[in-house]
Every structure is written in C-alpha cells, then in structure tokens.
Amino acid sequence: MSYKGPRGTYDVFPGGREPHERADLWAYVEGRAREILGLHNYREVRTPVFEEVELFARTAGEASDIVVQKEMFTFRDKGEREMALRPEGTPGAVRAYIEHNLFKLAQPIKLFYVGPMFRQERQQRGRYRQHTQIGVEALGTSDPLVDVEVISLLYAIHQSIGVRDEVVHLNNIGDMPTRRAYVPELRAFLRKNAAHLDPDSVARMDTNPLRTFDSKHEATQAVLAEAPKIGAFLSPEAADHLAVVRSGLDALGVPYELDEQLVRGLDYYTMTVFEAKSGALGAQDTVGAGGRYNALISDLGGPDLGGIGFGSGVERMLLAAAARETESALNLFFVTLAPEARVPAMRLAGALRAEGVSCDLDFGGRGAKGQFKQADRSGARYAAILGEDELSRATIKVRDMASGEEREVDVSGGSVELLRAIGA
C-alpha cells in the first residue's frame, strides 16, 4: 500500500470496525442531534474551516505562544495572509454573528454547527488531528437560564444516543472581580508549595494559575486538594448566577456535580463552565464541554454582549455510546439468469426506486448461485428472478428470502404487480 491517510486521521466507511469509522453510526448520531437541536430552536451556522490565525489567537489568550499552545495547523495563502484550520468552532461562529450584525436582531441568537476541527497533536483514543464537533452557541444574552438550556441540551443529545456512564461537571470561574480576588490567593498558595508541583504547573503558576487544576500529576493534585476554593471568592453576581444555574438544572432533572477544580482550557471563559465526562472512554474522557464567554463578543469587535456554548466531540460520543446495530435498508435484490435480462432488470429497478423501494442487482457477472449469495448478504427481504423463461412470459419471480417461497408475477404492464407482491 503506497498511500495512507494522514497521521491522526481516520476514514469512515461501510464496514468500519470502530464506532467512529462506521458511516451508519455517523448518520444516526448526526440525525439525532439535529432533531434535538431543532426541537430547541437552534439553527445551523456554517463557517469556513479556515480563518485568519489572528482570530483564533485573539480568542485564547497568552498571545505569544498561542500557535504552539493550541497546536494549530497554519499556512500562508498566496496573499501572504496567515491562516489556520480551525481548532474549535466558537471563534468562527462569533465572528459570523458580528460580521452579519446578528446582534441587532432579537436576542439570543441560537446557533449550532457540525463540522471538522483540526489540532496538531499526537493521536490517542478519542483524540484525532481532524475530529468533528457538534457545537452550540447561544449569543447575545447573559441570562443564566440560557446556561441551563445549553447544558441540558448537551446532556439530552448525549442521552439520546446512549452515551454511557456520563457525569456533568459544573463550576463557575467567576467574573473579573472574582478573579481579581481569587487568583492572587491561589498563586500565593501555589508559590508556597512550589516544591511539590510538577514543572508544567510551576511554569503556569504565574501565567495562568487556574490551569494548574488540569494537571494529572498526583503530587500536584495532592497539593491542589488543599488549595483555596473559588467558591468562597465568587462576587455576588457570580454567586447568584451559579445558584440560578444549579436550581435550573435541578428543576430539569439534569444530574451534575459541582466541581470547583474544573477550569477550562480556553482562556475566554467566564462564569459558567462545564464538562460532560464518560467513564466509557480512556484518558480523553471529556465527551463535550463548554462555558460562558461574556467578554469574547466585544473582544472580537462586537457589542458588549454575553454568550455561552459547548462543543461535543462526535468521535467521543460514538466511542462512549453503547454498541448499536443498524439493519439493512435494502428491500429487494434482482437475480438475472440470462445476459439479456440485465437491462430489463435495471429498468424494473428504476420503476421500483421511483416508488421508494430500495433495490440492487449484481454487477460482477456472477452465476445464479453467486447472485443469490449476494442477495442473501445484502439483507434484502426479496429476490426478484429474471431469466429466459420469465422474459418470454413477461413475468418475474419473487422469492421471499426468509421463507423461500416463490411466486411468479406479471410485469407486462410495468411494475404494479411486482410492487404488490412485495407489499409496497
């Protein structure tokens, strides 16, 4: 084999082994998600898979090494513009919201997107260089009940496709007053215990102390268990917001766990953050996650309005969902027993398809036995046999593949009798 797919990518095809390689499961998940999104009145937005690097750099802070941090695929176009394949969906959606003045309409604007995201990382279970996210952005309001809707929507989508062993983690990382109060406390605490922290956390202690909570090092986690909790530092506004979100989730019956160590990788989050994890995955156990971003819209040149959204990894949803079988959709398979029967069979097939009956026929020039074998494997309920005898009588033989029963029907007047014979 001379060519292989690029590192960290995979193909979706009939017969794929892993759930995320199966085309039928993709159709199922996307279909369910679109249905539920529609029921919540979210509408689709499609934005380019590449944007100016600057857009993504703007949205994720730590400007200097952002390209490295977010591990973006970047390239320069022929006009010397620095571009990047999108690593996440929010910046493009928010950019479009601003660019098309959607903030002038009645708010919120509730959008969803489905599409590929790109990150240049080493692959592992549930992590790919090109992965797909189903995401949602509710833009133009800071109403905490929108947070409730967005989180319950994420949960509803996961439940509908059967994500196993799911826990929603919830936190509020506060507004600016909250952080001004909390971050210095946390930083001071970390400095005091720096000797017990891993190098990555030591490095982040000054630039972004909140992120140290993400560390997987045992020693670091032991230190963090004793760290001051953000809950005690929440401004009155942030505390109220969290209380409304919690009681809303309780009222809707969405199970969640308050997790004061939950921070998020993207720096634009404010107030509400959440993560849906599944025990059915490996180390990459976050199926979907998101949060509120009350400064992002204005940072990108829009009005001072809040927004909240989530992204959910389709590959991870597929991996975390219980195995599922999808049945064959084929109704009928034509078996031709003479070369001159093939074109008539195709003509009849056309007539059947026009009536919504799915059918197929052999293209390999197989003998009778081989064709019946194909019919059997196709999962078709009926085989329609067309040979010299049938041709001369203007009939076709319909065989019920399960019972083996056969009956000959008249097709001199078209496909009517044939349709009736198979109950269509």
Which parts of 230-289 interact with RNA (CB under 7 A)?
264-266, 275, 282-284, 286-289
Q: Work out how close the CB of 101 gets to RNA at its nearest, in angstroms, rounded to a whole number.
A: 27
Q: Cβ–Cβ contacts within 10 Å for residue 189, how many?
A: 17
Pair of tokens at residue 295: 């400064």
Q: Cβ–Cβ contacts within 10 Å for residue 2, how many?
A: 3
Q: Is 397 in the site for RNA (CB under 7 A)?
A: yes
Residues in binding contact with RNA, number by CB under 7 A: 73
How many Cα neighbours within 13 Å face the side chain of 269?
A: 23
> Which one of 38, 389, 414, 416 is in contact with RNA (CB under 7 A)?
389
Q: Is 142 in the site for RNA (CB under 7 A)?
A: no
CB-nearer residue toward RNA: 237 or 400:
400
With vertex at residue 417, the alpha carbon angle to CA 414 and CA 420, rounded to the nearest 5 degrees, is 130
Polymer length in residues for the chain: 424
CB-nearer residue toward RNA: 38 or 365:
365
CA distances from 399 to 136, 333, 405, 411 (A): 49, 10, 6, 15
Q: Is 401 in the site for RNA (CB under 7 A)?
A: yes
Q: Cβ–Cβ contacts within 10 Å for residue 1, how many?
A: 3
CB-nearer residue toward RNA: 160 or 286:
286
Q: Is 373 in the site for RNA (CB under 7 A)?
A: yes
- SS3 category, 224: helix
Q: Work out how close the CB of 416 gets to RNA at its nearest, in angstroms, rounded to a whole number.
A: 21
Stretch that binds RNA, among 40-48, 140-148, 239-247, 311-319 (CB under 7 A): 311-319
CB-nearer residue toward RNA: 53 or 107:
53
Specify the DSSP class assigned to residue 19. Answer: G
Q: Is 131 in the site for RNA (CB under 7 A)?
A: yes
Tell how far CA 59 is from the center of its chain: 21
Specify the DSSP class assigned to residue 127. Answer: B
Cis peptide before 108 (omega within 30 of 0): yes
- Measure the CA–CA gap between 302 and 295, rounded to whole angstroms: 10
CB-nearer residue toward RNA: 163 or 352:
163
> Which one of 101, 123, 207, 328 is in contact with RNA (CB under 7 A)?
123
Q: Is 119 in the site for RNA (CB under 7 A)?
A: yes
CB-nearer residue toward RNA: 202 or 244:
202
> Which one of 31, 81, 124, 222 is in contact with RNA (CB under 7 A)?
124
**N- to C-terminal Cα distance for the chain?**
45
- SS3 category, 132: strand
Give, as ranges, the residues between 152 and 211 that touch RNA (CB under 7 A): 200, 204, 211
CB-nearer residue toward RNA: 7 or 100:
7
Q: Is 222 in the site for RNA (CB under 7 A)?
A: no
Stretch that binds RNA, among 119-127, 141-149, 157-165, 179-187 (CB under 7 A): 119-127
- Measure the CA–CA gap between 199 and 203, rounded to whole angstroms: 6
